[in-house]
Amino acid sequence: MHRSKLSIIKFQNKYSIMTNDIRKFINIVEEDPEKLRSAITKRVEKIPDEEDLTDILKFTNKYGIKKDVEKFTTLRNYKGIVSNVFLEALANANLTDAEIKKFLKKLSTDGILDERKLLTPRKLHSYAELIDSEYRKTFDAIKVDIFEKISGKIGEKGDVGKGEYMLDIISPGINRRGAPGDLDIDGTKIELKAGQNGRLGPAGSQALVGRFSREYAPIIKQIDPEAEIPTDNSQIAEIFNPKLNMSAFSAFFGNDSKKVKLALKAMLEMHYPSVNVNSMVNKIVGPNGVINGTELKKQMLNTSFDVYKADKDFDGIIIMDSAVTGFLYVNSGDDVAAISDQLGVSFPSWTDTQGNCMKVTLSAGALKAAGQAAGILPTAKSKQSKVKDPSSVAVATHGVTGLKPTRSKSAPAAPTISAPRARR
């Protein structure tokens, strides 16, 4: 750690607690370890009360701490958790004192995130389009730590999802609403689906495990009395789990469109008991009982979003990845269906003990494309023609070469970063 970083932590002595490299600053022969440990502890206890941290992390009157329940973390201890994670991430980064001071000052005023651009429906933004470019280097150095470590049961009413406090901290226009999963962005109520655990579906939805033999198998027998229904879980999953390739499902019913539609309808009704699924089925099943897996994904995402929104009090959903490189906002089932090709999904399973929700993530391909569009990832190089002199080939073949002219791709334009609005 550079000595200049010590001013950020505001230690009045010469010791740093933020790395294991403490021996660089301590003569262990001359110092009493117990006295040193005591001095460091006192400094740690003072960190949450530093005036600049109080501004940066916006602790006052914002977090829904249950003050009447003693077992919950006190506000002071919670401040310690957040500030220690935040300062440790900064101290471990390869940043200058000036960069850190500039970053902290910006967070304590109007923030570094363009939250209005963030709420563009159906648009997958690279984080480079949303984070002020002047502060992106510092944000890059700490974002994963802040995303990963500030979550869980830390004084809130229940679990706090990853990423919620990170967004709260970097923008004055984003505030926690006091319940897990809830953010307020300029008056818009948002559910954040971050990392690998984003779920769409009714809250408290019933898991499918055990329901196949109890409920679905009898329906299959009504549709096709001659059917031999598997009892092995792996076979059940292979044939009957919803997925992009449903050829085994169709084949089980002899590719009979009527039987396939009846079986799919029964399955979807188990997922969405309050929804009329007839129109979904007609869009999904084509001639000869062929199921369009892409359409199945769209329809299930659309309906899962709508039933989830009907169950909960929010206006829209932000989906982000665990590496904090992309953000996608949707506020309707139609939105989710329209961008379904940018999402990786995990369909409900007959053997899953979890609720029958759709699990969604941003796909690697979509994130890469967004990064390339923002100019922070290289675009694919154009392929060079193996023909050294196409004109000579044209002469030899009377002008008919069959070669397409090669086009060199222009460098991507630098991203335009809208300045975040001033703190109100």
Cα 289 → chain centroid: 36
In the structure, what pLDDT confidence band is assigned to residue 90 with cuts at 50, 70 and 90? confident
Share of the chain above pLDDT 90, in %: 39
pTM of the model: 0.71
Lowest average pLDDT, out of 102-116, 139-153, 224-238, 299-313, goes to 139-153
Q: Output the six-digit token pair for 206.
A: 């019933």
List the one residue out of 191, 196, 166 whose CA is nearest residue 180.
191
Give CA–CA dist 419/114, Å, rounded: 7
Buried b (16+ CB within 10 A) or exposed e, 323-355: ebbbbbbbbbbebbbbbbebbebbbbbbebeee
In the structure, what pLDDT confidence band is assigned to residue 79 with cuts at 50, 70 and 90? low
Residue 76 makes CB contacts below 8 A (sequence gap 6+) with 48
**pLDDT at 253 exceeding the cut of 90:** yes
Which backbone phi and psi does 128 adopt, to 5 degrees?
-65, -25
Q: Which of 183-187, 193-197, 261-265 shows the highest mean pLDDT? A: 261-265
Buried b (16+ CB within 10 A) or exposed e, 187-221: ebebbbbbbeebbbbbeebebbeeebeeebbeebe
For the chain, give the mean pLDDT: 74
Q: Which of 76-90, 147-161, 325-339 shows the highest mean pLDDT? A: 325-339
Q: Output the six-digit token pair for 51.
A: 């005036």
Between the two ends of the chain, the Cα-to-Cα distance in Å is 36
Residue with more model confidence, 193 or 84: 193
How much is the pLDDT for 414? 38
Residue with more model confidence, 125 or 203: 125
Which backbone phi and psi does 354 adopt, to 5 degrees?
-80, 170
Domain ranges of the chain: 3-117+131-186, 211-372
